[in-house]
Structure 1
Amino acid sequence: MKIYITGLIAVLMIHTAKAQQPLTLNMEKAKELALKNRFDVQANRYDTEIAEKEIKGRKQAYIPDLKITGNVSYHPQIQAILVPPGFGGITEPTLLALGAKSISIYSLELNQPILSSSLRNDIKIAENSAQWQAERNRGKEIEIKQKVSEAYLNVLLRDLQQKIALNEEKRYSEYFNLAQGRYDNGALIENDYLRAKLDYQNAKQQSSVTTQNYEISLNTLRHEINVENNVKLELSDKLEDSFLKELPDVTAAQQNNRTEIRQLEFEKIDQNLKLKKQRQSVLPSLSLVANYSQQFQNMEFNYDYTDTQWWSGFSAIGLKLSIPLTEHFTNAVSVDQLLLKTRQTEFNFQQKKADISYEINQAVISLSNAQTNAVRTKDSYDLAQKVYENQQQQLPYGALSYDTILNTESSMTSAEQNYIKASYEFLLAKLNYEMAAGTL
């Protein structure tokens, strides 16, 4: 019993240790994990499989249509036919009822398409639809990667805000301790002491808020990559590392690979194929038809199929040609509608290309400006830190008044806020650039 309990405790400890191991992520790994874990991504992949099944279904239309039919009927009164004079020695025209009352016919029928433009076009439309659906899924995955990227970058930003707030809290803690010592020694008036205490409390509150925001941003990232809330995340990317990276050039291939362009291209192909199908719907179709039947007949209400003398067989084989006539007149309206849709899609396609070109140009300019601003504000932030360090060396000697300390703190706060703002604008510009370039 003791061995069992000890073993159980060991298993629980191992499981707990694994659960507490942090999940280290960079941006790319976070996006890959989201595409792997999210249920909507897995659900969307069935759309592609369904579209591929549609191709197989269209191709199966060329398989011969083989079926068995049965027809059982009873005729209490047989239809009479007119027999002209001279037939069988009859001198006067008369009505004569010929045929059986009990009739059963069982047939094996074959219909094999030989020439059908509609079937060929249906297969091409289905193949294009499958590729179109795969591109739609890629577009949905890009939207998911965008959300993951936003959540990931938001964590980096909240982490930066938290670090700056903690540093600020630390500074105000040092100011408060210094002010309290001077106040206790009678070297500082009460109002300055209270101001130092209030500033320290405000800094603590701000630090607490930034920590809360940081935890919320982590929960959002966990949700986007679909991992449990108790999973500890560690982000390996550093915000400052992104500032100095060279900006990649956008190639024409990347621009044309935007999912919006690709989807419009598939839409154009789909409309052209449907237009071709509509125009060819007036063409003749040709099929091979064959039939083999066994017929049972009896003059009474008798369906005793074991009586073989009343069974007889017949068969036929031939070609079935179908030539549309009315559709030559009614088809024109449908063709005109498809032509209008094709022209409409072409204009949308050209406008989308122009929009994307504009988006890329704007994104390049915005990212370049944001990168420059981020680097400059980072330099100012580092300079503010140096000013603070110099001030710290003078504080123990009482050479600085509290107003002077606050002036320095105001400059540091301004540098910090500018740094945070520039960092946020850089992250947003970087994400917009990746979206515009189609590299997300």
Structure 2
Amino acid sequence: MYVPLPIDDITLGEPLPVNVWDPQGQLLLRKGHTIRDERHRQWLLMHNPQVKEDEYRAWTYRYTTAIDRALRGNQSLEAIAGVTRPMGFDDAVEVEPDARPIDEIWADLHAVLTLLLHQGEQAQDFVGRFLRLEQRMQALLRSRIDDSLFVLVQMLFDRAMGYSASHALLCAVIGRLVAQTLGWDEARQQSLQRAALTMNLGMARLHDDLARQDAALHPEQRRAVWEHPLRSEAILRRLGVVDAVWLELVRDHHEQAGGTGYPQGRAEVGAAAQLLRMIDVYVARISPRHARSGLPSPRAARDVYLDASGAPTPLGTAFIKALGLYLPGTFVELVNGEVGVVARRGRRANTPLVLAIVTRDGLPRGEPPLRDTSEPAYEIRRAVVPDEVKVRLQPARLLARL
């Protein structure tokens, strides 16, 4: 059963809390996507947008619960007005990590993080909401790391998803994995993960805009990009963050040893900040933008694995050991002509497990078989950028086959 979407109440540019359908049951917009502008809103109106009744009830319940909580807490009218924004996301609602398909859980976390990054200092209880998001992430990562990488990479490849949150979530998960490979203690891993999630807090909206921009940065944008590490650090301090390592990593995530980085040109940069920069660069390079395709995963991995002289670095070695050359969720062509999506990291860096989604004749497969690329018949011929793949994937359905 469907009910009309209250489209006039939805804030442009903010993630949708529900899937949007037309009256015939065709998906118009996925949860977490945005209504970009007034023209996009009018296009949706022409298709008579609907939402599923149970999702609408859950959305409305979160909305009214948030109002009730604010009223009972005797909050100011201004604060209540902020709570009652019609998007109605309430990340304080506890959700069992395994209660729903993993792609839905990550879509919710993406929406929560998008709001936090966009609202910044105006967000109510930023730190509390952030920590709850982190707890939900950790519940997923304790047992479903490759599934999470798969979903997050697919979200990164989806240009309709807010780029800043997609980038941050994938960087955070990669950071955890590499830090574990390096044997860093829990406190250092946690600071790295938190820095990855918030390093672009000072330019989150601009980050989203630049992913959709064809033209070169204009001077004001360039200045904002240059200054965002310091701005992000300052915002976190004002929000009450006191973790010195977290703050330092956010400040230094674009610095390079020798003084060639920015914004301060520091000659000495700690290992954790160097790792965060490496991950940031890798994720940016595999990301498709409006004006270009992303780089193939092996090319981006080799770029961060080697230093300027072409020699592997200790951090780069740990990166490849943790992730391999082919990240789950990326695409490859096999020697037998099939195109597949990487489902699991393999025993070696260049031999992942792959689900074959397109036959050698170019036809999509209904039930993709699993291929072990360590076998000669299924070796990887080349990496494939996402723009070459025309098959629309259903991550939860694919992952259920593993």
Point out the structure with max Rg over C-alpha: 1
State the structure with bigger RCO (CA 8 A, min sep 6), 1 or 2.
1
TM-score (normalizing by structure 2): 0.21
The TM-score normalised by the length of structure 1 is 0.20
| Greater helix content | 1
